[in-house]
Amino acid sequence: MSNEEKSKIIECENLVKIYKTSEIEVVALQGLDLSVEQGEIMAIIGNSGSGKSTLLNMLGGLDRPSAGKLYVDGKDLFKFNDKQLEKYKQETVGFVWQNNARNLIPYLTATENVELPLIISKTKSRRHALDLLEMVGLSNRKNSKLSQLSGGEQQRVAIAIALANNPKILLADEPTGSVDTKTSNLILDVFREFNRTLGITVVIVTHDRMISRKVDRVVAIRDGRTSSEFIRKKSYVDELSELANGTFNEREETHVELAVLDKAGRLQIPREYLDALKLKDSNKIRVELEGERVVLFAPNSGEVKDK
Query: Are 300 and 248 contained in the same domain?
Result: no
What pLDDT does residue 269 have?
77
Query: Smallest Cα–Cα separation from 286: which of 300, 267, 299, 271?
Result: 299
Query: Are 197 and 85 contained in the same domain?
Result: yes
- Over 60: is that where the pLDDT of 151 sits? yes
Give the residues across from 96 on adjacent strands: 172
C-alpha to C-alpha distance for 46 and 30, rounded to whole angstroms: 14
Q: Which domain holds residue 280?
A: 271-307
Residue 240 lies inside a defined structural domain of this protein: yes
Residue 140 lies inside a defined structural domain of this protein: no
What pLDDT does residue 94 have?
92
Query: Are 174 and 297 contained in the same domain?
Result: no
Confidence of residue 77 (pLDDT cuts 50, 70, 90): very high
H helices of 140-278, in order, are: 151-162, 181-198, 236-245, 271-276
Residue 69 lies inside a defined structural domain of this protein: yes
80-116 pLDDT, tens digit each: 999 999 889 888 999 998 776 677 888 899 999 998 8
What pLDDT does residue 298 have?
78
- Over 60: is that where the pLDDT of 1 sits? no
C-alpha to C-alpha distance for 260 and 34, rounded to whole angstroms: 10
CATH number, domain of 61, equals 3.40.50.300
For the beta carbon of residue 265, count every other beta carbon within 10 angstroms. Answer: 6
Query: Are 171 and 260 contained in the same domain?
Result: yes
Q: What is the DSSP string of 57-89?
A: HHHTTSS--SEEEEEETTEEGGG--HHHHHHHH
- Average pLDDT for residues 132-153, to the nearest whole number? 89
Residue 179 lies inside a defined structural domain of this protein: yes
Confidence of residue 201 (pLDDT cuts 50, 70, 90): very high
Q: What is the total residue count of the chain?
A: 307
Residue 120 lies inside a defined structural domain of this protein: no
Query: Are 180 and 87 contained in the same domain?
Result: yes
Query: Are 306 and 222 contained in the same domain?
Result: no
Query: Are 76 and 55 contained in the same domain?
Result: yes
How many distinct structural domains can be found in the chain?
2
- Over 80: is that where the pLDDT of 208 sits? no
Query: Are 186 and 245 contained in the same domain?
Result: yes
- Residue pair 255/216 in contact (Cβ under 8 Å)? The answer is no
Is the pTM above the cut of 0.85? Answer: no
Residue 143 lies inside a defined structural domain of this protein: no
- Over 90: is that where the pLDDT of 306 sits? no
Confidence of residue 247 (pLDDT cuts 50, 70, 90): low
Query: Are 207 and 289 contained in the same domain?
Result: no
Residue 178 lies inside a defined structural domain of this protein: yes
Residue 125 lies inside a defined structural domain of this protein: no
Alpha-carbon distances, residue 243 vs 27, 239, 247, 251 (angstroms): 44, 6, 6, 13
- Specify the higher pLDDT residue, 159 or 102: 159
Alpha-carbon distances, residue 272 vs 67, 195, 275, 277, 285 (angstroms): 31, 35, 5, 9, 15
Query: Are 174 and 253 contained in the same domain?
Result: yes
Share of the chain above pLDDT 70, in %: 85
Query: Smallest Cα–Cα separation from 123: which of 159, 168, 166, 171?
Result: 166
What pLDDT does residue 262 have?
74
Query: Are 189 and 279 contained in the same domain?
Result: no
Handedness of CA 181, 214, 274, 263 (dihedral sign): negative
Structure letter (DSSP) for residue 47: -
Handedness of CA 77, 78, 80, 85 (dihedral sign): positive
At residue 88, what is the residue type? Y
14-64 pLDDT, tens digit each: 999 998 887 888 888 988 999 999 999 999 988 888 889 899 999 999 998
What pLDDT does residue 72 have?
95
Backbone angles phi, psi at 229, to 5 degrees: -130, 145
Query: Are 284 and 186 contained in the same domain?
Result: no
- Specify the higher pLDDT residue, 131 or 262: 131
- Residue pair 111/133 in contact (Cβ under 8 Å)? The answer is yes
